[in-house]
Amino acid sequence: MKYVVLMASLPPLGKLFEAATPPISRIKLKSRLNLLDATDHQTLDQIANLIAWPLQPSERTDPEFVSEAHRFLASSRSPTLRGLVKQRLDMRTVVAALRRHRRGEAQPPPGEIWGFGEWVGLMERNWNAPTFKLEVIFPWVKQAHDLLDKDDLIGFEKLQFSIVWAMLDRLGAGHNFDFEAVIIYLARWSLVSRWSCYKGDDAVVRFRELVDSGLGNHKQLFA
């Protein structure tokens, strides 16, 4: 019942790239989440700590992050939430590899934990291929490579947002008034909020910083 009440209280988000601002503020959204119980909040925090970059502790290393991701996947009973985390981290790993290529970095040394998921080995074996021979698995990887190659950083970021939005569409099928629906709404809201904050030249500077320099100890996986 709590999920029905919560979801019914949240306004539609509309289309990703159309809203000037999210239809509900962060403060109001946080207030609505008070309907969730302690267990729900704990799960929400676990997921946010894995897929929301601003919440990543700067002191956490990539091996520690990957271990935490695997612990969540092993403990969660929701196929939808496991799929959400896995697909987001798979994508981040591919994007991190593309960025390493763009910076001219060599293949990660054997044994280094630099990414997440089942495709890391394939990428390492095909490191010299522009798209790591991932086109069949991730059809968007060629477009992402080309956008980076052209230095179209806004297009590159917009492509990522579009991919995640479509992924949330698929994962949200059949979830309307349950906890999964809440998590998917929050993930969508985050995309709308982030995109609405990107403006012109400021966005280019921000994207270039993300692509070229990375962030903290996660500069490989979460550059």
pLDDT, one tens digit per residue, over 177-192 is 999 999 999 999 999 9
Q: What is the pLDDT of residues 143-187, one digit of tens each?
A: 999 999 998 988 998 999 999 999 999 999 999 999 999 999 999
- Cβ neighbours of residue 124 under 8 Å, at least 6 residues apart? 107, 108
Q: Would you state the pLDDT for residue 62?
A: 85
Dihedral pair phi/psi, residue 152, rounded to 5°: -90, 80
Distances from the Cα of 214 to the Cα of 52, 102, 135, 169, 177, angstroms: 15, 12, 25, 29, 38
The chain-wide mean pLDDT, for the chain, equals 87
Q: Is 219 exposed, middle or buried (0-12, 13-18, 19+ CB in 10 A)?
A: middle
Q: 13, 189 in Cβ contact below 8 A?
A: yes
Q: What is the mean pLDDT of residues 132-142?
A: 96
- Token pair, residue 40, equals 């729900």
- Token pair, residue 15, equals 């289309």
Q: What is the pLDDT of residues 70-91, one digit of tens each?
A: 999 999 999 999 999 999 999 9
CA–CA gap between residue 223 and residue 213 (Å, rounded): 7
Helices (H) and strands (E) in the chain, counts: 10, 0
Predicted TM-score (pTM) of this structure: 0.86
